[in-house]
Amino acid sequence: MKKIKSRKSEPHPASKYFRILATEFHEIPNEEVNIWIQMTEPLVAPKYFRGMYSQALALLTAHRLKMKKSAHDESDDIFPVSKISEDGGSTAFAINQANATDDELYLTWYGKQYVAIRDRMFAGAIV
């Protein structure tokens, strides 16, 4: 019986963009970043993003991680909330779930950059 050699999985091409763009996640191991990228892949269509595919995938992955971190750090709410704190007071804005896709993307810098690339590559809100 042949013994199968185990080898480390190759990094996803989008991981180099992720590491450059999302430096705040430097503590996350490469293997975990690759898993997050793989989970995000079905949400980003290569044929629409063409040469910007890896960058768009990295940005959307970073956005998802940022939203997960924010939800974990701030509350257990099931609806994303954007909060502004200033001079001892704070204001929170809940997202309209009818258009949650784009609204949620605008909550992070990564999401905004993803939308900018998406809108440059084709018209419409496809995620």
| Strand 81-86 to 89-94 pairing | antiparallel
pLDDT band at 1 (very low <50, low <70, confident <90, very high): low
The verdict on pTM exceeding 0.85 is no
Provide mean pLDDT across the span 86-91: 61
Q: What is the pLDDT of residue 98?
A: 47
- Chain segment 103-113, per-residue pLDDT in tens: 889 989 999 99
SS3 82: strand
* Mean pLDDT of the chain, nearest integer: 79
CA dist 5 and 56 (Å) reads 33
The structural domains of the chain, with segments of one domain joined by +, span 14-121
